Amino acid sequence: MMIDKTKLKDLFLKYIAIDTQSNPDSSTYPSTEKQKHFALKLVEELKAMGISNAVMDEYGYVMASIPANTTKPIPTVGFIAHVDTAPDADGACLNPQIIENYDGKDIALDASKNIWLRPGDFPELLDYKGKTIICTDGSTLLGADDKAGIAEIMTAMQYIMQHPEIEHGKIAIGFTPDEEIGCGVNYFNVEKFGADYAYTIDGGRIGELEYENFNGAEAKISIHGRNLHPGYSKNKMINSQLIAMELHSLLPCGQRPELTEGYEGFFLLMKSTGTIEETDMIYIIRDHDRGKFEEKKQLINGICRFLNEKYGENTVVCTLKDQYYNMREKVEDVMFIVDIAKKAMLASGVEPLIVPIRGGTDGARLSYMGLPCPNIFAGGHNFHGKHEYVVLESMVKATEVIVNIVKEYALIKK
């Protein structure tokens, strides 16, 4: 299989130059109109390659399909990626760096601001000596999460359209908005998408194959204090900021993202703003194990009850909301779809690396909506920050894996 590396690179560079950041504070869906602008461009490109049924709906979802070219009863397989980039930094990467034949040395993103990609900080860089690394100039996200996945799906579909000798069943294609703010499939129509099984192309390093993810919840906490002149406040003032600090100190100090790995869960303080009178906090709670996940939620509720007993009723108000659950519960019943992905990787010369996702994907929620949906590598690293980079050769392999999955599905019966 000969995937055109230069065309794939050019397509990716075109995509990352387009700003598609989502906005967690928006009340619209999708959260930003610019995601729709990009989605419409993808519809045009799909139609240009001969996929005439491509369409974007009112919510910004792009759906399309390639009809089967055989009468065999082959399951419909889908491929999904998200159009938005994270709100953490500017999303339009206009000045990417292309480091060909990487020599294993430090890469200056913006030396004037002391922003570097160093193997000392990111040792996995050394795995890519001799490869082509695409990175930022230190001022924006790269956007490989998930425009690498989009470019790979588009390139794979183009390859399949140009090679009618590849026997395949119906292939579904989907691009979603707002994945980065946890709303990627709020209005996704699984029935309309029409796939029996699907894969998100939204993973990281080459070989990653994921069918386990965190159970996730968000805790919004409001703390109500009492303010008055500090010179006359003895036994009267209640400083909400200090209660917030006390609350945080009662959480397990070792269960933070920077101290955990693998299957270890955590509490993460995402945001805290406050005055003496009012403090608002947002935590996310994560754990792969459903039982431990529930225990974490009970703990944070228990801490809030304790503080209310200490400082007065409704001093601390906690609103907990589940965000998604571990897709393993749904994928385990159809593990052959993971085995197919393994075979597709091996056929591309890629060693499968089965790891739990320390996060969530659209596929997690889709699995609970009736569409089992593991996640496959797209080739990027250091998502959500200015140190983000992608390896072009990994992108080529991801594209090959998509095509090989299509071929593998042609070998099984519906």
User: Is residue 209 within 8 Å of residue 342, measured between CB atoms?
Assistant: yes
Residue 414's pLDDT is 60
Give the whole-angstrom CA distance, residue 297 versus residue 299.
5
Distance from the Cα of residue 38 to its chain's centroid: 18
Residue type present at position 190 = V
User: Is residue 350 within 8 Å of residue 410, measured between CB atoms?
Assistant: no
CATH 3.40.630.10 range(s) for the chain read: 5-212+326-409
**What are the tokens at 330?**
């749904």
Q: Which fold has domain 5-212+326-409?
A: Aminopeptidase (3.40.630)
pLDDT in tens, 61-87: 999 999 999 999 999 999 999 999 999
Per-10-residue mean pLDDT, the chain, length 414 = 93 97 94 97 98 97 97 96 91 93 95 94 96 95 96 98 96 96 93 97 95 95 95 94 98 96 95 97 97 98 98 96 93 96 97 90 92 96 94 98 97 76
Q: What is the pTM of this model?
A: 0.89
Phi then psi for residue 106, to 5 deg, are: -60, 145
C-alpha angle 238-242-248 in degrees, rounded to nearest 5: 135
Active site residues: 84, 179
Residue type present at position 39 = A
Residue 246's pLDDT is 98
CATH 3.30.70.360 range(s) for the chain read: 222-324
CATH 3.30.70.360 assigned to domain 222-324? The reply is yes
Note if the bond before 96 is cis, omega within 30 degrees. Answer: no
- Give a three-class secondary structure readout of the chain: CCCCHHHHHHHHHHHHCCCCECCCCCCCCCCCHHHHHHHHHHHHHHHHCCCCCCEECCCCCEEEEECCCCCCCCCCEEEEEECCECCCCCCCCCCCEEECCCCCCCEEEEHHHCEEECCCCCHHHHHHCCCCEEECCCCCCCCHHHHHHHHHHHHHHHHHHHCCCCCCCCEEEEEECCHHHCCCCCCCCHHHHCCCEEEEEEECCCCEEECCECEEEEEEEEEECECCCHHHCCCCCECHHHHHHHHHHCCCCCCCHHHCCCCCCEEEEEEEEECCCEEEEEEEEEECCHHHHHHHHHHHHHHHHHHHHHHCCCCEEEEEEEEECCCHHHHHHHCHHHHHHHHHHHHCCCCCEECCECCCCHHHHHHHCCCCCCEEECCEECCCCCCCEEEHHHHHHHHHHHHHHHHHHCCCCC
The residue count of the chain comes to 414
Residue 62's pLDDT is 98
pLDDT in tens, 161-220: 999 999 999 999 999 999 998 899 999 999 999 999 999 999 999 999 999 999 999 999
User: Is residue 62 within 8 Å of residue 155, measured between CB atoms?
Assistant: no
